[in-house]
């Protein structure tokens, strides 16, 4: 069983969030309501989720001088930020997020400093990591493949959330990944299939580790060593679904690291992400472990 110590090497973004009547259409100019500025980035969100779920978490990544508040938020969540570099001439990554009345979102990304990760920064961040430590990655950095390989070389438990999907992601070394997270879009992009069962089967052939396929309000499925798992989503009134997948990822890993029980990890992750979507913003709305456990007890 792996130790519960994690390094999340991932993106840090400033999220500019706009409430809209509908997601803007081509050629359309749309008025927005209630603009908000939040801490985000799939990496930052997943670090917060891991830490709130009880994992001893360090974050590595890069920001510009304008992103200091992102590092402070991580620190307040109990995350070690000594491997978050500040590029003097870099611009912090940002996201422009539209949220519709049903809480669905649409995201435009500017990678900025997230896409300036160097080999030296990877070596330094991983220097203190070893056998069984979790390395959690997403697909918003320029160095995903190098990180998968570096984590595997050190014997780390490599978890990869393939979000957002990119064509490049098709050629990553999935044989080195211990836990792969995808949603339906990412799963379809990677597998070339559209039906969830077929996506899962195809990804299980690609990746020998645990494969988790999240399906939004339809719950999630997983596959590992020839066994398949399914867990429903909990019905809630969604306000903003931004960060739901990140919350799921962090909570799943935290629970799985405790006892290796995939079904239990899926239930706790579903509870945490159900709570997360009932509040606006990404990192700021990730629930504490106690709240997620209480919600789960209420659902029993």
Residues with a known catalytic role: 246
**Smallest distance from the beta carbon of 140 to ligand RIB, in angstroms?**
6
Helix (H, G, I), strand (E, B) or coil at 168: helix
Q: Which of 210, 278, 282, 207 is nearest to 245 (CA)?
A: 282
CA 148 – CA 171 distance, rounded (Å): 12
**Rule CB under 6 A: is residue 42 a binding residue for ligand RIB?**
yes
Q: Compare residues 151 and 243 and give the one whose CB is closer to ligand RIB.
A: 243
**Rule CB under 6 A: is residue 95 a binding residue for ligand RIB?**
yes
From 37-45, 122-130, 195-203, 228-236, span contacting ligand RIB (CB under 6 A): 37-45
Give, as ranges, the residues between 112 and 151 that touch ligand RIB (CB under 6 A).
140
Report whether 22 contacts 100 (CB < 8 A).
Answer: yes
**Rule CB under 6 A: is residue 41 a binding residue for ligand RIB?**
yes
Task: Tell which one of 214, 242, 247, 285 touches ligand RIB (CB under 6 A).
Answer: 242
Q: Is 70 left (phi over 0), alpha (psi -120 to 50) or beta?
A: alpha
Residues near 68 by beta carbon (within 8 Å), at least 6 away in sequence: 86
How many angstroms separate the first and last alpha carbons of the chain?
A: 28
Number of alpha carbons in the 13 Å side-chain half-sphere of residue 186 = 23
From 8-16, 75-83, 121-129, 259-267, span contacting ligand RIB (CB under 6 A): 8-16
b vs e for 251-260, b when ≥16 Cβ sit within 10 Å of the residue's Cβ? bbbbbbbbee
Report whether 59 contacts 141 (CB < 8 A).
Answer: no
CA 172 – CA 174 distance, rounded (Å): 6
**Rule CB under 6 A: is residue 13 a binding residue for ligand RIB?**
yes
**Number of residues forming the site for ligand RIB (CB under 6 A):** 15
CA 251 – CA 258 distance, rounded (Å): 11
**Smallest distance from the beta carbon of 245 to ligand RIB, in angstroms?**
6
Task: Tell which one of 8, 9, 18, 45 touches ligand RIB (CB under 6 A).
Answer: 45
**Rule CB under 6 A: is residue 71 a binding residue for ligand RIB?**
no
CA 261 – CA 279 distance, rounded (Å): 28
Q: Compare residues 40 and 151 and give the one whose CB is closer to ligand RIB.
A: 40
From 51-59, 231-239, 240-248, 270-278, span contacting ligand RIB (CB under 6 A): 240-248
From 11-19, 28-36, 167-175, 225-233, span contacting ligand RIB (CB under 6 A): 11-19
Q: Compare residues 43 and 129 and give the one whose CB is closer to ligand RIB.
A: 43
**Rule CB under 6 A: is residue 107 a binding residue for ligand RIB?**
yes
**Smallest distance from the beta carbon of 88 to ligand RIB, in angstroms?**
23
Residue nearest to ligand RIB (CB): 40
Q: Compare residues 10 and 151 and give the one whose CB is closer to ligand RIB.
A: 10
**Rule CB under 6 A: is residue 282 a binding residue for ligand RIB?**
yes
How crowded is residue 2: how many other Cβ atoms within 10 Å of its Cβ? 17
Q: Which of 180, 219, 218, 220 is nearest to 202 (CA)?
A: 180
Q: What are the residues binding ligand RIB (CB under 6 A)? A: 11, 13, 15, 40-42, 45, 95, 107, 140, 242-243, 245-246, 282
């Amino acid at each position: 069983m792996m130790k519960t110590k994690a390094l999340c090497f991932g993106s840090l973004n400033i999220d500019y969030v706009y409430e809209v009547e509908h997601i803007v259409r081509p050629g359309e100019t749309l008025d927005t309501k209630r603009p908000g500025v939040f801490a985000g980035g799939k990496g930052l969100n997943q670090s917060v989720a891991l830490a709130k779920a009880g994992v001893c978490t360090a974050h590595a990544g890069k920001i510009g001088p304008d992103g200091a508040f992102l590092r402070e938020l991580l620190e307040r969540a109990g995350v070690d930020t000594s491997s978050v570099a500040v590029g003097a001439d870099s611009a912090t990554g940002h996201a422009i997020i539209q949220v519709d009345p049903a809480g669905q979102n649409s995201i435009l990304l500017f990678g900025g400093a997230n896409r300036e990760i160097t080999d030296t920064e990877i070596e330094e961040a991983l220097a203190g990591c070893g056998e069984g430590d979790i390395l959690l990655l997403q697909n918003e950095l320029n160095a995903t493949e190098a990180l998968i390989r570096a984590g595997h070389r050190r014997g780390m438990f490599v978890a990869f959330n393939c979000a957002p999907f990119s064509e490049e992601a098709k050629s990553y070394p999935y044989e080195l990944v211990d836990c792969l997270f995808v949603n339906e879009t990412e799963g379809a992009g990677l597998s070339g299939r559209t039906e969830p069962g077929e996506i899962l089967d195809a990804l299980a052939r690609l990746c020998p580790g645990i494969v988790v396929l999240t399906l939004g309000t339809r719950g999630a499925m997983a596959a590992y060593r020839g066994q398949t798992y399914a867990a429903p989503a909990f019905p809630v009134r969604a306000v903003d679904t931004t960060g739901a997948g990140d919350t799921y990822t962090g909570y799943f890993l935290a629970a799985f690291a405790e006892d290796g029980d995939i079904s239990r990890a899926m239930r706790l992750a579903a509870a945490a992400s159900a709570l997360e979507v009932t509040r606006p913003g990404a990192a700021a709305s990730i629930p504490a472990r106690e709240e997620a456990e209480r919600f789960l007890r209420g659902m029993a």
